[in-house]
């Protein structure tokens, strides 16, 4: 994947207010998918789709904790955007 494609995925992931809200939750601590979904009035598969977009954009990482998937924030793509915005 080129840098340009990577940037598009990051900006695409950040375009959604729901995904930004998910990132806000993950700033506090890693969460299992069900805990992320509990904050929204939508079907779980919809929340999982938002998590997938964030994961594909490199903004969250996915781990496994026994039977549950956990999600945590990955700030590196945001640092790259910040570096790009600063002259």
Q: Quick one: pLDDT band at residue 19, thresholds 50, 70, 90?
A: very high
Q: Is the pLDDT of residue 64 over 90?
A: no
How is residue 9 written in tokens?
């995925």
- Is 40 buried (19+), middle (13-18) or exposed (0-12) by CB count in 10 A? middle
Which CATH number covers residue 63? Answer: 1.10.10.10
- The number of folded domains in the chain is 1
pLDDT on residue 2: 55
Which ranges in 1-87 belong to alpha helices (H)?
3-14, 17-28, 33-37, 44-56, 76-85
Range of the domain at 70: 3-85
What is the residue whose two structure tokens read 């805990």? 35
Q: Is the pLDDT of residue 56 over 80?
A: yes
Q: Is the pLDDT of residue 1 over 60?
A: no
């Amino acid at each position: 994947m080129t840098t340009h494609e990577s940037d598009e995925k990051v900006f695409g992931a950040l375009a959604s207010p729901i995904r930004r809200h998910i990132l806000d939750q993950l700033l506090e601590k890693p969460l299992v998918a069900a805990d992320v979904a509990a904050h929204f009035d939508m079907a779980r598969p919809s929340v999982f789709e938002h998590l997938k977009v964030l994961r594909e954009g490199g903004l969250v990482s996915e781990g496994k904790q026994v039977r549950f998937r956990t999600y945590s924030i990955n700030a590196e793509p945001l640092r790259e955007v910040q570096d790009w915005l600063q002259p």
